[in-house]
């Protein structure tokens, strides 16, 4: 493997991802230790995001691209985002009736699914399903000799998902009770799901046009 700086940053992000998942798994609501865990997890996620931006920029600027980077970089991104949503839909993030404020306890189930994180299991399925579909489309397109670069829709999706993850962690750790914070958390989580669906549809539409064009040729 090429151990130039971009790949080192990618490997570092793998380590950060593992630490991030461990912290979320150890989280317990209503404890000072839980608050610290979420704040540390938030910092780790932000650092991982910065390394993601840096390794791509460095690789392009100094022409340090490699096969490992092309495979590992998007893979780690997907694991971190999908894994974060899956962890936030875990039982340790379900609403604790003794801790949650009255506003959050009385929210309709379809809004938050009884989850303090606002992340519901079906949302994880949607996000994971989108990644499977896009990966399958990309693999098929490239096998046919058609380039399949990342689109602006995919980049926006990634940004909105990351904002949602950070917002959930920050809200649960630091502003757990206020109604405005709960509403903001739920809004960004739903926006992340909507962005995921729209970006997936954009990829499907793009592939359809490519295939039709290829058949005409």
Q: What is the pLDDT of residues 114-127, one digit of tens each?
A: 999 999 999 999 99
CA 163, 93, 52, 135 dihedral sign is negative
Whole-model pTM: value is 0.91
> Does the pLDDT at position 215 exceed 80?
no
Q: Which residues pair with 94 in a beta bridge?
A: 115
> Does the pLDDT at position 202 exceed 90?
no
Class of domain 5-216 as given by CATH: mainly alpha
- pLDDT at position 209 is 66
pLDDT in tens, 109-156: 999 999 999 999 999 999 999 999 888 887 777 776 666 666 788 889
- pLDDT at position 214 is 57
> Does the pLDDT at position 217 exceed 60?
no
Domain segments of the chain as ranges? 5-216
- Within 8 A by CB and 6+ apart from 112, the residues are 95, 104, 118, 120, 186
- Distance in angstroms (rounded) separating the CA atoms of residues 2 and 10: 12
């Amino acid at each position: 493997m090429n151990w130039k700086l971009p790949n080192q940053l990618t490997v570092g992000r793998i380590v950060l991802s593992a630490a991030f998942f461990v912290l979320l798994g150890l989280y317990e609501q209503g404890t000072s230790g839980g608050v610290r865990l979420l704040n540390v997890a938030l910092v780790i996620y932000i650092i991982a995001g910065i390394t993601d931006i840096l390794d791509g920029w460095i690789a392009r600027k100094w022409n340090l691209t490699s096969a490992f980077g092309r495979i590992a970089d998007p893979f780690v991104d997907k694991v971190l985002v999908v894994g974060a949503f899956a962890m936030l839909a875990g039982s340790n993030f379900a609403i604790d009736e003794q801790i949650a404020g009255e506003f959050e306890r009385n929210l309709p189930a379809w809004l938050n699914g009884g989850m303090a994180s606002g992340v519901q299991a079906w949302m994880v399925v949607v996000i994971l399903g989108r990644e499977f579909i896009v990966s399958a489309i990309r693999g098929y397109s490239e096998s046919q000799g058609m380039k399949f670069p990342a689109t602006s829709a995919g980049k926006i999706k990634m940004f909105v998902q990351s904002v949602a993850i950070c917002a959930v962690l920050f809200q649960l750790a630091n502003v757990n009770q206020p109604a405005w914070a709960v509403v903001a958390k739920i809004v960004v989580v739903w926006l992340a799901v909507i962005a995921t669906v729209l970006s997936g549809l954009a990829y499907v539409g793009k592939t359809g046009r490519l295939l039709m064009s290829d058949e005409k040729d």
